[in-house]
Amino acid sequence: MPNETIEVHADYKNIRIPCERLRALLKSSDVPEETIDLCELALQELLTNLVDHAYAGNANGHITVNLSRNPSQIVMETRDTGIPPQMDLSQTSMPAPEELVEGGYGMAIIQTLMDEARYFTSQGTNTWRLVKNLK
Q: Whole-angstrom Cα distance, residue 91 to residue 66? A: 27
User: Which residue's CB is nearer to other proteins, number 16 or number 118?
Assistant: 16
Quote the least distance from Cβ 48 to other proteins, whole Å: 5
Quote the least distance from Cβ 28 to other proteins, whole Å: 18
Interface positions with other proteins (CB under 8 A):
12-13, 15-16, 33-34, 37-38, 40-41, 44-45, 48, 51, 94-98, 100-103, 105-106, 109, 112-113
User: Which residue's CB is nearer to other proteins, number 97 or number 124?
Assistant: 97
**How do 73-80 and 62-70 pair as beta strands?**
antiparallel
Nearest-5° Cα angle at 100, 93 to 51 = 60
Quote the least distance from Cβ 97 to other proteins, whole Å: 4
Inter-residue contact 49 to 9 (CB < 8 Å):
no
Quote the least distance from Cβ 34 to other proteins, whole Å: 7
User: Which residue's CB is nearer to other proteins, number 34 or number 88?
Assistant: 34
The helix (H) or strand (E) run that includes residue 128 is strand 125-133
**Strand order across the 3-9 sheet:** 3-9, 62-70, 73-80, 125-133, 116-122
User: Which residue's CB is nearer to other proteins, number 41 or number 134?
Assistant: 41
Inter-residue contact 62 to 7 (CB < 8 Å):
yes
